[in-house]
Amino acid sequence: MKRDRVLVAPSVMGADLSRLGEEVALVESSGADFLHIDVMDGHFVPNLTFGPDTIAAINRTSDIFLEVHAMIYNPFDFIEKFVASGADRIVVHFEASEDVEELLAYIRRCGVQSGVAFSPETSVEFIPKFFGKTDLILLMSVHPGFSGQEFISETVDRVKFVRQELDKAVEDGISPCLIEVDGGIDDHSAYSCVEAGANALVAASYLFKGDNSVEAMQQRIALLRG
């Protein structure tokens, strides 16, 4: 089956937060497909990051598509706030809510795209039932909470499984969705994930380390696309 172009999303966690506006402008002018914003609540994951005010601030300075990765319990309480802040897609964790299907439907009713994320230890058998009900399946390739961790290599087989099952479902008339991988993505892990069938990649450390010229950022994005 012919594959789509691979989408690359820089994660704000890797940016120099003292120059957030400049960093967002850099990835936007370097051709990043969208921006990934990690929202953490200190409960679902042992870390705190950004909330609706930061999303709104980014949205005021940039036109780039904003994906919110909600690593929070009770995500329902924040959906409207994320939408009002300018989120274009809201990704909730399978492990963080009782009724994920209802949550995904609600996100779409709010007028934005939805996604559902799966932590590395969650069985992939839970994933196919979400096909046709969401815009994106996110496979975590590190334990959620921090950037700069090592890629968990078992993720590659998880991507293969999701790709096979999704292709079968699409042949049966189910609408397609993106398969995204997040965590420890560099040019090597990106290659394996894309080979396995991923078509969206999130990267923090890899994209924001080193030379921060537009040319260098463009090159790193191109290396991830493969």
Q: Return the residues of window 199-218 that contact ligand DX5 according to CB under 6 A.
A: 202-206
Q: Which residue has the tokens 């079968």?
A: 168
Of the pair 196, 207, the CB lying nearest ligand DX5 is at 207
Q: Return the residues of window 135-164 that contact ligand DX5 according to CB under 6 A.
A: 142, 144-149
75 binds ligand DX5 (CB under 6 A): no
88 carries an active-site annotation: no
HEC assignment per residue over 7-28: EEEEEHHHCCHHHHHHHHHHHH
DSSP label at residue 181: E
Of the pair 144, 197, the CB lying nearest ligand DX5 is at 144
Angstrom distance (rounded) from CA 115 to CA 108: 10
Candidate residues 178, 183, 196, 224; the one interacting with ligand DX5 per rule CB under 6 A: 183
Q: Which residue has the tokens 């009002």?
A: 84
Token pair of 4 as six digits: 């789509």
Q: Which amino acid is it at 156?
A: V
182 carries an active-site annotation: yes
Closest approach of Zn ion to the CB of residue 225, in Å? 19
221 binds ligand DX5 (CB under 6 A): no
Angstrom distance (rounded) from CA 190 to CA 208: 16
Span of 24-32, 34-42, 145-153, 208-216 interacting with Zn ion by CB under 5 A: 34-42
69 binds Zn ion (CB under 5 A): yes
Q: Return the residues of window 34-73 that contact ligand DX5 according to CB under 6 A.
A: 36, 38, 69
Catalytic option among 16, 157, 182, 187 = 182
Token pair of 222 as six digits: 């191109």
115 binds ligand DX5 (CB under 6 A): no
184 binds ligand DX5 (CB under 6 A): yes
Q: What are phi and psi of 7, to 5 degrees?
A: -90, 140
Q: How far is CA 145 from CA 39, 48, 89, 152, 154, in A?
A: 9, 8, 20, 14, 19
Q: Which amino acid is it at 2?
A: K
193 binds ligand DX5 (CB under 6 A): no
Q: Which amino acid is it at 28?
A: E
What does 183 bind: Zn ion, ligand DX5, none (CB cut-off 5 to 8 Å by kind)? ligand DX5
Of the pair 69, 220, the CB lying nearest Zn ion is at 69
Instruction: Show which residues are catalytic.
Output: 38, 182
